[in-house]
Amino acid sequence: MSGLAVAAAASILCFAMGFAIRRGNVCVVAAARDLVVRRRPDMFIGFATAACWSGLLLVPLAWAAPAIFHLSPGYDQLNQALLFGTLYGIGAWANQACGFGTLAHLTGGRLGYLLTLVGWAIGASFISEVYRPQHIPSPSLLKTSPLAAVAAWLAFAAVCWWSFPRLRLLRYPSRWRRMLLGRARMRPFEAMLLIGIGGGLLYSCAGNWTYMGLLSSYASQLVMRDFTPTSTLPALLGTATMIGGGVFAAVRSSSFRLRGTSWMQGSRHLVGGTAMGAATQLIPGGNGVIIVYGLPSFAPHAFTAYLGMTLTLTLLLWAMNYSRKA
């Protein structure tokens, strides 16, 4: 396959992910709020199915074409991963959106979330300056053990089969037209199907290519005085295409509207972005990398970081909800 064909395929995947993130309102903060306030775990179940859809493709591809597709390595620094999850959860709570949610708000015209990106770069730069974590990767268990790979793939397939009845996009093809050209909103399972497949494939063959990963990379390179812009051109293309997909989704649903922010809210975006940017220097990637790449690869740090992030967010939102009722 030529380089142009690969770039075109990657751009389509990025566009689809941006569209799904915006139209599906995908955000771990929203998921935790639904769990605490409405007692509905639907979005967290959707995240789990995204990981399974990703793993359903990644495991056989990593075995069939190891030169192109790679499973996420694992890191033994589990205490550091737990710290990442806690810090990222605090940042997402302050910002009122995770990395996915920030993109969804930005592509809908909420300009205050630009301060999240500023904070992200500040946090990543600060950690790169004061602390240089030594990540010692180890190969994925699903790469070294054929038996584990088969067992994991069967588990992924079972979850995907269970979720199939909830995927109206696959059961009713006419929904694609209403989704792309109208205002129909994506259900969590539908959005996670696109995010799991698209994100998993992109991470496995292109590394941490997202806009948040791009910010972290630039910040780290500037601090370490090793600035090589040509190495980030694929990430720039992917970022631009993903943002384009989000803006397209917002415009087609008539929900795009430029809005500013208050000083108080802007401060929360800045502080939250700083915390999340700092967290991603402790463990590579944000919540998107963990969900659709780390978890399907059975990376130990991904499970620890995800547990820390969701537990922190849930406890913070529960405390706020309890204080309002008291």
Residue carrying structure tokens 């710290």: 83
Lowest mean pLDDT among 98-102, 179-183, 223-227, 264-268: 223-227
Whether 174 shows a pLDDT value over 80: the answer reads no
Residue 208 scores a pLDDT above 80: no
| Pairwise CA distance, residues 253 & 112, whole Å | 21
Where is mean pLDDT largest: 192-201, 252-261, 307-316?
A: 307-316
Q: What pLDDT shows up at residue 175?
A: 58
In 3D, which of 28, 190, 150 has the Cα closest to residue 98?
Answer: 28
Please give the average per-residue pLDDT across 222-247, as a whole number.
Answer: 65
Averaged pLDDT for residues 82-93: 91
What's the predicted TM-score (pTM) here? Answer: 0.85
Range of lowest pLDDT (20-24, 53-57, 273-277) = 20-24
Q: What integer is the mean pLDDT of 179-202?
A: 75
Question: Which pLDDT does position 230 carry in this prediction?
Answer: 43
So what's the pLDDT on residue 152?
96
Closest CA to 138 of 207, 72, 57: 72
> Which range of residues forms the domain containing residue 80?
3-325
Distance of alpha carbon 109 from alpha carbon 185, whole angstroms: 18
The number of folded domains in the chain is 1
Q: Sign of the C-alpha dihedral, residues 303, 304, 308, 311?
A: positive
pLDDT digits over 237-261, tens only? Answer: 777 888 888 898 888 888 889 999 9
